[in-house]
Structures are given as C-alpha cells and as structure tokens.
Structure 1
Amino acid sequence: MVNIGVGPSNAKTITDHIAVLRPHAWMMLGHCAGLRNSQQLGDYVLAHAYVREDHVLDEELPLWVPIPALAEIQLALEKAVADVTRLDGPELKTIMRTGTVASTDNRNWELLPQNEPQRRFSQSRAVALDMESATIAANGFRFRVPYGTLLCVSDKPLHGEIKLPGMANHFYRERVEQHLRIGMRAIEILRAEGSSRLHSRKLRSFAEVAFQ
C-alpha cells in the first residue's frame, strides 16, 4: 500500500518506480468529485474509461491511445464492494456506478472562465473527476502492469456540495475504513484466482514478445 499524495506528478513518479518491481497489478483507491447530481457523498465509482488531462504522460503515451478497462480487475473490485457492503444486484448499483473518470492537473478546474473543462468532461460522459487515476492507469498500460480504479465520492463541486472540515471528518470516519477493506478484499480475490490470469495478452501489442 502506497500513499501517493496529491497530483499526477506524484502518481507518475511513484508508479514509474513501482513498475520496475514488476507487480502483478496495482489499484487506485482514492477520493473523487462526483459529477452527476444523482450521486451521493460516499458513493463508489468503478472506472471503466479514462479522460487524461493530467499532462504528465502525453509524450510517453499519446492521448489518442485508449486506456481500456481490464475485466479481471473490474470484476474483482465489483465483487469486493459487494462482499464488504453485503449488497448485490440493484442494491449494489445504488452505492456504486461504473463510468468514465477524468483526471486533471488543475486543482481549480471548476473555477476556470467559460466553463471550458466542464464542457469537455460533459462531452466525455465522465461521472467522476480526480487528479491521479488516469495517470496510474495510463502508466499501468505503458508498463504492462494490470490496473484498476475504485474511487469514493467526497464532494460534488458542480452541485454545491463541497468538502468542508466538519463534513470531511464525518466522511472519513464512515468511509475510509470500508474503502480500504474493499481494496484488500479485491487483492484477496485476485490472489485466489492466480496471477497467470492477470498477465495476459491484453497489455501487449501484436509486435511484442510475452513477458511479465
């Protein structure tokens, strides 16, 4: 478990160094801004696509390269949420939604003139926004390390629900422990299934040899 701090630069630097250890997978657990009015503080977001506005990997991995979701990790994270919350089916969907996660390097994106970032994020159909997830997924794709993202909604800046000190304290008490237990449960599920399922051809191009 690594606390990467805040921002895409930290995310890139740390995953650059972790990648050389050839981990079987890495997962991003963090907080995000919920972009949909139907989301509640404390809801989970399972990323199945990414919008990269982090500007730290554009040269190494061009923006036109898609960063796909990986089924094995997606299923493990979804099952982990179900196991820990003891919810399933329609009930599970009330606290977790899948969708596109946008990552930006601008902490004050919602304050920019003419709402330019908001328009772009709306066009992408993003359901959540943070500063690190797309960077971690993109670096996983770049280094052939399986990746996944499960975020927890901590504020809704477009709908007037911002993170205030009192709210943050209550939020942390209620959600951080559960979120970490979900991450650990996902690791247990992946370990039980075996690492050979993770190291597949999905992260290799047609011109590459097989390697872990």
Structure 2
Amino acid sequence: MEDFKAYEPTKEEEKIAQDTLERYSGSPCQDYQPYLLLTNFPKYVNYFSESRGVPVIEGSMFSVAHSPEEKVSILDFKIGSPAAALVVDLVSFLPVKAALMLGMCGGLRRQYQVGDYFLPVASIRAEGTSDFYFHPEVPALANFLVQKAVTNVLERKKIHYHIGITHTTNKRFWEFNNEFKQKLKITRPQAIEMECATLFTASYYHKLPLGALLLISDLPLARDGIKTKASSENLFARYTPEHVETGVEVAKELDEAFKHQAKGVYRGFRRRFEKEEHHN
C-alpha cells in the first residue's frame, strides 16, 4: 500500500495556487472574504450579486461575487468532483475561515419532498477523485461545527430538513441504469449528488472547515420523480433566495463561533495577505 505523507505545501505551490485561482475566477485573491459559499449555479451568484449590489466577476472557469460588509464570498465552480477538488485545492491557500457548499441532491427516501433541505453528515466516496487525498478507509465527513451552525440556523428559521449520508457519483445520467440503482438500494444512502465526498475529503486534507446544505431537487427513484427542465426552473425560482440567504446566515453563525474560539473551527495558523512593500 502506498504511504500518504503529511501534506506540507511549499511557497511555490502557494503562489501557483493563488495565480491559478485569480486566472480561473478573474478576482484578486485579496478580495476573497473569510467565509466562502460554494455552489454549482450561476443563478445563485447572480442573486447574491443583485441583492447586495456587488458585481459578478467572471474568470476562465469560475464566477464569484464578494460582500465585504458581510464577510462572505460566493463562488460557482461548475459541476462534478474534479472541479470540487480543484476549488478546494486553490481556496485552501486563502485566509478562508470556513466554507459551505450550497448545492442540490436527489432524494432517495419516499418521505422526502422536492424543496426539502438535506444536511449531509458524510458521503460515500464513489466518485474516485477523493482517492488522491486519502486511502479508501478514511471516511468523507462534513465538518461537524460547520454543520452544527447550519442546523442552528435552520432550526431558528423553523425550516424542515433531513440529515443523512449522500452517495457521491461521477456519473450524472444514471437514472436508467438498473445495476447502479440496485447498488444505491444496497448501500442505503439517503441522497445522491456529485461533489460532497470530494469536498469533504479535500477540505479535511487541507484543514479547511467545510460543510454542505443541499436542496432536494428531485426524487429520482420515484415514478415521475426525475428532474425536468420545467421542474428545475420552478425550483430555482422558488428556492434560490432562501437557500443563499440561509448560507449567509450560516456564515454569520460561524463568525460568532470564531469569536468564542470554538475548538475545531479554527484552521490553526491561517494565511494572511500582506501588503507589498514599495521601495523608491
């Protein structure tokens, strides 16, 4: 078995990561805020931008918007586990205190309804990308204190939610694959998506506290439960503001936790951007 050595980034790696993030997002690293909302959806970034009167910045791969007043940035990294790994690899070199994924998932229980929230505590590592960080026996766990902040906000707002395990797959169009559906029944995840196992594993590797708040977008194992173009548009129209605003409230909840120095939230030594010295 190959040994995984303790991760010790070099100065060169840090510089290349920051350069890459600036190129892919179009945003200077210094503009990123202490709390980062990650998403797959341009509509979420656009809502955040319009509701706060801040610009959307487009790079070659990502789009991002920053709200310094709230100490929150939101970044659309597109879809899938490779993109999820990339964004964590890059933002881990920023002084980000915590990150929260605002995504969607397919609900795999009969009692679930479209529009319910799902809070993953762990994910089945079926996507492959997480193998680059740890051996298979290392679980993909959401950061507990980030998820606790999420539950605090949801309960305060009296929003119904489910807790459980997701299956993270690297295959999007799986709904008509009977062998795959049988595997889901055997392994018994409560939801399915394409990023969480990678996000949780990569963030654990980089010591970046990261959690997720997912919106159940469809019920793919139910009859007529697969998401369609019309149902997707309706979902965005109904839930985008609530989902994004809940994420911002979670960031504020985490900021309070930092003030009380909650164990397990801090990253230890966090990188700070230093102003360049100008010499005459």
Scaled to the shorter chain, the TM-score interval is: 0.7 to 0.9
Quote the residue 1:106 is aligned against: 171
1:126 counterpart (189, 194, 203): 189
Runs of 4+ with deviation above 2 angstroms: 67-71, 109-112, 115-125, 195-201
Amino acid paired to 2:173: N
Is there any run of 5+ residues in structure 2 with no aligned partner, and where? 1-73, 271-280
2:228 counterpart (153, 164, 168): 164
Matched, 1:37 2:110: yes
Report the TM-score, using the length of structure 2 for normalisation. 0.65
Quote the residue 2:209 is aligned against: 146
Identical columns (%) = 27
- Is this contact kept in 1: 2:164–2:190, CA < 8 A? yes
Amino acid paired to 2:229: P
Distance 1:198 1:190 in 2: 12
Instruction: Give secondary structure in 2 for the equivalent of 1:58.
Output: helix
Q: Which has the higher helix share?
A: 1
Report the TM-score, using the length of structure 1 for normalisation. 0.84
What do residues 137-174 of structure 1 show as CA deviations (whole Å, max 9, x unaligned)? 11111111111111001111110312222222221111
- Is this contact kept in 2: 1:46–1:96, CA < 8 A? yes
Name the count of aligned residue pairs: 195
Question: Which protein has greater RCO, CA pairs closer than 8 Å, 6+ apart?
Answer: 1
Is there any run of 5+ residues in structure 1 with no aligned partner, and where? 204-209
Moved more, 24-33 or 123-132: 123-132
- Is this contact kept in 1: 2:130–2:197, CA < 8 A? no
How far 1:74 moved relative to its partner? Answer: 1.5
In structure 2, relative to structure 1, the CA distance for the partners of 1:79 and 1:126 (3 Å cut) is same
Quote the residue 2:55 is aligned against: none
Amino acid paired to 1:125: R
In structure 2, relative to structure 1, the CA distance for the partners of 1:198 and 1:116 (3 Å cut) is farther
Instruction: Give secondary structure in 2 for the equivalent of 1:119.
Output: helix
- Is this contact kept in 2: 1:22–1:145, CA < 8 A? no
Distance 1:4 1:180 in 2: 15
CA RMSD of aligned residues (A): 2.0
